A and B are shown apart, each in its own frame.
Chain A
Amino acid sequence: MPSPVAQLKSVTKRFGAAPPVLDDLSLTANPGDFISIIGPSGCGKSTLLRLLSGLTPASSGDINVLGHPPGETDRLAYVFQEPTLLPWLDVNGNVEALLRLRNLPGTEITTRREQALQLVRLTDRAHHYPRQLSGGQKMRVSLARALTLQPDLLLLDEPFGALDEMTRDHLNEELLTIRDQQNWTAFFVTHSVAEAVFLSTRILILAPHPGRIVAEIAVDFSHPRTDELRRTDAYLRLVAEVSRQLRAVEPANATP
């Protein structure tokens, strides 16, 4: 049994005196897992990623990320909900920004930047500024920037939530293509059941007040996955099943 990429044991997170955002959460991510986290607003999805990344500390419980306490590994990368690009840098500058913070040698920076740009197919936009890019392109720059860190664990916080469905589908396929070439483990927060089923090996459904895992669903479709998968009965059945379970945890009187 390989050692887990990330492990949470009885983790609770509360802000001030309010009821916990996450309550007594335990979870193990193994190498190669692509874990989607789905659930209604306020169930602590983003908080879970912030705990794993070390951006915010746990109130109690143990978290281990790649053999370290959270925040102490440099093999972790985070893709935010927004593209979070530096508007005064062009695509090249943005992709290599995190490497520059680490003071890597110039040739190493250039090599990793070019590789990452090729992976997201944006080499021809290298000298464009963020405002000249479409929403999908900005997100790909953001993804490329994360990949330059050569992560073992990739945390993605609803990265494609603001994009139209077409672009989102394409980026999902691209993300899996990249994943097939590399070997990171991923946590992926999303609101889209279809996206979760397409991408994941495991789906966790969280319920709010307090945030907790109420169901785990394994997704066993083989890799590589392509657009074809979206039209298979097995896929559609699983989307329906996850949607049903998700509805069960939504607040009773929630209006859509």
Chain B
Amino acid sequence: MIRRILPPVITGVLLLLAWLALHAALPASQQFLLPTPVRILSAAAARAPELASAAAWTATAALGGFALATTVAISFSLLLASSRLVRAALYPYVMLLQMVPIIIIAPILILWVGAGLPSVIIVTFLISFFPMVVNNTQGLLSADPNLVDLFRMGKATPWQQLWLLRVPSALPYFFTGLRIAAVLAPIGALTGDYLVGTTSGGNAGLGITAMIASTRSEIPALYATAFIACALGWVFVATVSAASWAALHRWHDSYNQN
């Protein structure tokens, strides 16, 4: 246990020391560029309610977009994996969805849906959907051909072949996609907030909070926002990693035995 906890703790302490050293090395007139952790914490404490609501808002948007992307990606990959013809007909357009520049989609979204949570969720969805649909489809198509023969010999119905063979075979791929999406979703929610969010009714997310802090040159608050965004991303990835471990560690080679 100690051997697992100690290395990251030591790294953290070293990074903190480097930070303080860098701060001290800067000329006094430039020190505002890299505030000390204490200044950042006190700035965060001073705005705790505002930052907490912004974090909750962004977390909601990220979770909403992530859930939507997961659901749509699963349905879509089942469809894509069902036949070569469907794949040929749909795949280019799935690719296209990923190529659409968010910065151009943003004004259109505002016109269609209006600025606010639904638009931010759509931006998050667009950013995190692609890696999942690609991985899921790949996984569903990657069942061991020998096992496919076994199921054919066993006269499995197409339904049995899907649920008892293709879906379990796709699980490691599914979690790879899910992990990438878990990294992308909070970034998508921040970017979305920045581009299609709204400040009306105190509904600002972390993207807008950062923008405001930046225009007011409130550097410690800006850093505080960045750390909260990192923490949010970390929670997403940690949750997905835990789910992945629970589903795969007993049988998949990506997890060591014992």
- A residues with CB within 8 A of B: 53, 55, 74, 78, 80, 82, 84, 86-89, 97-98, 100-102, 129-132
Cβ-defined contact, A131 with B253, below 8 A: yes
- Smallest CB-CB A-B distances: 4 pairs: A101-B154, A84-B146, A98-B154, A129-B251
Chain A residues within 8 Å of B164, by CB: 86, 97, 100-101
Given A82-B146, A132-B257, A101 and B171 touching (CB < 8 A)? Answer: no
Chain A binding site: helix, strand, loop or mixed by DSSP?
A: loop
Partner of A55, one of B152, B252, B253: B152
B32 to chain A, nearest CB (A): 55
Q: Does B160 contact A (CB under 8 A)?
A: yes
- B residues with CB within 8 A of A: 144, 146-147, 149-156, 160, 164-165, 168, 171, 250-253, 257
Given A101-B160, A102-B154, A87 and B252 touching (CB < 8 A)? Answer: yes
Cβ-defined contact, A129 with B250, below 8 A: yes
**Could you give 6 example pairs across A and B, Cβ below 8 Å?**
A55-B152, A78-B153, A88-B250, A88-B252, A100-B164, A131-B257
Given A84-B144, A132-B257, A55 and B149 touching (CB < 8 A)? Answer: yes
Complex Cα distance, B255 from A87, in Å, reads: 13
A90 to chain B, nearest CB (A): 8
| Chain A residue nearest to B171 in the complex (CB) | A88
Complex Cα distance, B164 from A55, in Å, reads: 20
Chain B residues within 8 Å of A130, by CB: 251
Chain B residues within 8 Å of A86, by CB: 147, 164-165, 168
Complex Cα distance, B154 from A78, in Å, reads: 9
Chain B residues within 8 Å of A129, by CB: 250-251
Complex Cα distance, B159 from A101, in Å, reads: 11
Chain A residues within 8 Å of B151, by CB: 101
Cβ-defined contact, A101 with B250, below 8 A: no
Chain B residues within 8 Å of A97, by CB: 154, 164
Chain B residues within 8 Å of A53, by CB: 153
Chain B residues within 8 Å of A89, by CB: 251
Among A55, A78, A82, A87, the one with the most B-chain Cβ atoms within 10 Å of its Cβ is A87
Complex Cα distance, B155 from A86, in Å, reads: 16
A139 to chain B, nearest CB (A): 13
Complex Cα distance, B130 from A64, in Å, reads: 50
Chain A residues within 8 Å of B144, by CB: 84
| Chain B residue nearest to A84 in the complex (CB) | B146
Cβ-defined contact, A55 with B153, below 8 A: yes
| Chain B residue nearest to A81 in the complex (CB) | B146
Complex Cα distance, B165 from A100, in Å, reads: 13
B140 to chain A, nearest CB (A): 15
Chain A residues within 8 Å of B171, by CB: 88
Given A101-B160, A131-B251, A132-B257, A84 and B152 touching (CB < 8 A)? Answer: no
Known: A84-B149, A84-B150. 14 other contacts (CB 8 A): A55-B153, A78-B150, A80-B149, A80-B150, A84-B147, A86-B164, A87-B251, A87-B252, A88-B171, A100-B164, A101-B154, A129-B250, A129-B251, A131-B253
| Chain B residue nearest to A98 in the complex (CB) | B154
| Chain A residue nearest to B255 in the complex (CB) | A131
